Chains A and B, each alone.
Chain A
Amino acid sequence: MRELAQKRLRKNLQQSLKYLVLVFNDFFILALIFLFGALMFWYAQSMKKMPTGLWFYRPLVGVIIWLPLISGKLVTLLEPADLHFLLPQDKQMRDYLKPMLNYSLIVPTIILVLIAGILFPFATLKAEISPVAYVVLAVVVLLAKVLQLKLEEYNLYSSHKLSLPLLSLLLLLGLICSATWTICSYIAVILILGAFFMLAQKQKNVALFDWQYAVNQEQGRKNRVYSAFSMFTDVKEKKISIKRRKYLDFLLPKSLAKEKPNRFLYRRSLLRNPEYLNLLVRMTAFAILISWLVQNWLWAFGLSCLVIFLTVYQLLPLVSEFDDNVMYRIYPIEREKRGQDLVAVLKLALGLQWLIISLFWLIILPINLQLAEAIIGLLIFSIIILWLYLPIKIKKRKI
C-alpha cells in the first residue's frame, strides 16, 4: 500500500507541476512580480506612517497568520475504482495515508512561511510581539495544520464525523488570543498536543474505512484544484457538471414561436454549462476590479474593451459545441447560419455585461461627461465586436 501511495504521489506531483508551469507562464509571472512589487512598496510606505502599538494590531496578526490554515486539505489521491479494488484493504489504509499526510503539509507550510515572513516586520515592530513569541506563534499554526489533517484522517474512519469548520473557528479564536497574549501560545501548544493524544486514543477503536466518503472527499478536493487551474488553462481531467440553474430560466424566451434550434441550444449551454457562465461572470468581475484599481475613465474604458474582446474570443468554441453529439448531426438543423444564431444569443449576454460594467462605473468612478462618453463607447465597441468581428471569426473556423 505504501508503494501504491508513493506511486500516486509521484504521478500527482508530475501532473501538478505540468499545470503549474502552464499557470505561471511568462506573462503571469511578470504580472505577479509587478503586483507583488507594488504591494511591498505600499507595505513599506505604510509601515513608515503607521503609529505603533494600536490595540487591534495583535489580534490582526492572529487573523492573518490563521489564513494558511484555510489552504490544503488532506490529499488522499483515492480514485472511484478503489471502491472496488481496494475495498478489503481497510487495515492497510493507515500505511497508505502516512505519506499522504506528509505530502498534504507541503503547500500549507510554504504558504505559512511566506505569510509569516511578510508579516514579520509588522508583528515585531508595530504590534510589538517579541521575535521569540512570534516564532512560537508560527509553530502553533503549523501544529494546528497537522491537527486539521489528523482530524480529516480520523473522519475517513469514523461514522461520527467531527466538524472541520468548527475546528477552524476554534483555531482562529485561539490564534487571536495567542497573538495578543504570549502565554496563550504555550497553552495552545499543550492543548493541541492533548488533542493529538485524544485522537490517537479514539482512532484505536475504529477500523472500518469509510470508502464512499473518502472517495467523494477526494473527488471534491481534486475538482477544486482543477477549477483553480482551469481559470488559467484547459484542464482535461476536470469533469464538467451541468447545473440546472432554474433561477436563470427567466433569461430564456417564453415562446418557441420565434426560436431556432441552434439558438435554443446555445442559450441553454451558455446558462448551464459552468465553463461558459463562469467565464462570463469572471470576466465581468475582472473588468469591474481593474476599473476600480485604475480609477481613471480612459484606462477603465480601454481595459474593459480588452476584457469584452477576450470574453467573446473565449466564447467562440460555443458555436461548434454540439458537433460531437450524434443526435445534433441527425436532426434537421441547418448549420450554415450558426454564426448568426450565436450572435443573436451573445447579444443578450454582452448586453448584460455592458450594463453591469457601466453600472459599477457609475458607482466607483467620478461621474462626469467623459464617463458618459466611455459608457457609450463601450456599447459601440461591444456592437462592433459582436456584429463585425464574431461573424468573420466564425467563418474562419470552417464549420
Chain B
Amino acid sequence: MLSYKISKFTKRKIGIMVLKIEHLTGGYTGVPVINDINIEIKPGEALGIIGLNGAGKSTTIKHILGLLRPQKGKISLNGIELTKQPTEFKRQIAYIPEIPVLYPELTLKEHLDLTILSYQLDEDKAWQRANKLLTIFRLEDKLEWLPIHFSKGMKQKVMIVTAFLADTPLLVIDEPFTGLDPLAVANLIELIKAAISDGKMILMSTHILADAEQAISNYAVLNNGVIDVVGNLTEIRQHYGLNDSDSFDKIYQILNQEQRHA
C-alpha cells in the first residue's frame, strides 16, 4: 500500500551503492567495546543487529553515524568515507534513535523544514511525501505544535517521519518498537518493507524479533563486541545448537553464559 519511488539520485548510483564496515574496532576513549567488526549491506538489503545489553550494538551504530571515532578500521558508503567527507557521508544516512531527540525551539512543521534544508530535498516533492507520512502516523493536524511536549510514542513518530522524509540510501534504526502503539508498529514495518523493495539499505538493532522478522530476514549476532554469526533466524538457531522446540530467546541465555565465561 505504500510505494516509494526511487529518487533519481538513488537510481544513478545504485550500481556502486554499498555500506562497507571493514575491520572496525572502537568504543570510548581507550576502551575498545567492539572488535574487528565487518558488515556489508547492499541496496535492497536489511540487516538486524541483535545481542544482549552492552554487547556493542549502540556503539556500532554510533560509529556509523560519526558520533564516535574508530580506533581502527574504515566505514564507507557508496565509496564515500565517513572520516574524509563527513557531510556527504551523512547526507546518505537517516537515523531513528531509540530515545527521541527533538529541538525544543522547533514546531513539528519546522522539524520537517529543517530536514528538507539539511538533506537539500526538493521542497514540493518532500512535502508530498511528508503529508503522506504525517497522515499514516496521525500527526497531520499537529504541524504547528512543539513536539517537545508530545508523549514518548508521538515523539518517536516524529523521528520516524523525519527519517523517512530524508529519503536516504541508508536508514539506521535503533530499537524502534518500544513505546509505539501496535498500529504504529505495523505502519513502521510496512514502511521498512517498502524501503527495502525500493532498493534502500537498512541497519536496525532490536530486541523485539517478533516485530522485526516481519520486515528483516538477516541478522548479525553481536556478542562481547564481536560478531558471532550472520544469517537468517534458522541459521542462527543452528549455530547455537537450538532444538526446533526451543524458543528463540534461549539464544540470549547462551550468550549470557558465554559472556560470563569470556
Q: Which of B79-103 contact A (CB under 8 A)?
A: 87-88, 90-91, 93, 95, 97, 101-103
User: Could you tell me if A242 and B148 are in contact, using CB atoms closer than 8 angstroms?
Assistant: yes
Q: How far is the CB of A271 from chain B (nearest CB, A)?
A: 8
Q: Is A269 an interface residue (CB 8 A)?
A: yes
**Which residues 115-173 in B have Cβ within 8 Å of A in the complex?**
115-119, 123, 144, 146, 148
Q: Provide the bound-state CA to CA distance between A332 and B91, in Å.
A: 5
Chain B residues touching A, range: 20 to 34
Min Cβ gap A165→B in Å is 29
CB of A332, distance to nearest CB on chain B (Å) = 4
B198 located at the interface, meaning its Cβ lies under 8 Å from any Cβ of chain A in the complex = no
Q: Say if the beta carbon of A259 comes within 8 Å of chain B.
A: yes
Write the nearest CB–CB distance from B209 to chain A, whole angstroms: 26
Cβ of B6 under 8 Å from chain A: no
Instruction: Check: A244 CB closer than 8 A to any chain B CB.
Output: yes
Is A272 part of the binding interface, using a Cβ–Cβ cutoff of 8 Å? yes
Contacting pair B105 A268 (CB below 8 A): yes
Task: Give the total of A residues in contact with B, Cβ under 8 Å.
Answer: 25
A330 contacts the other chain (Cβ, under 8 Å)? yes
> Which residues of A are found within 8 Å of B97, using beta-carbon distances?
326-327
Residue contact B117 to A322, C-beta cutoff 8 Å: no
Known: A261-B118, A329-B66. A273 touches B105 (CB 8 A): yes
Question: Using an 8 Å CB-CB cutoff, how does the interface string of A294-336 with B read, 1 for contact, 0 for none?
Answer: 0000000000000000000000000000100111111111100
Q: Which residues of A contact B114 (CB under 8 A)?
A: 261, 264-265, 331
B52 contacts A by Cβ under 8 Å: no
**Distance (whole angstroms) from the CB of B83 to the closest CB of chain A:** 15
B31 within 8 A of A: no
Q: Which A residue sits closest to B119, measured CB to CB? A: A332
Task: Determine whether the beta carbon of B117 is less than 8 Å from that of A259.
Answer: yes
Across the A-B interface, the 4 shortest Cβ-Cβ residue pairs:
A332-B91, A332-B90, A331-B118, A242-B104
Task: Tell me the A residues contacting B by CB distance below 8 Å.
Answer: 242, 244, 246, 256-257, 259-261, 264-265, 268-269, 272-273, 322, 325-334
Chain B residues proximal to chain A, CB less than 8 Å: 65-67, 87-88, 90-91, 93, 95, 97, 101-107, 110, 113-119, 123, 144, 146, 148
Q: A261-B118, A329-B65, A331-B119 are in contact. List 14 more A-B contacts (CB 8 A).
A: A242-B148, A244-B107, A261-B117, A264-B117, A265-B106, A268-B110, A325-B101, A326-B101, A329-B67, A330-B65, A330-B67, A331-B90, A331-B114, A332-B118
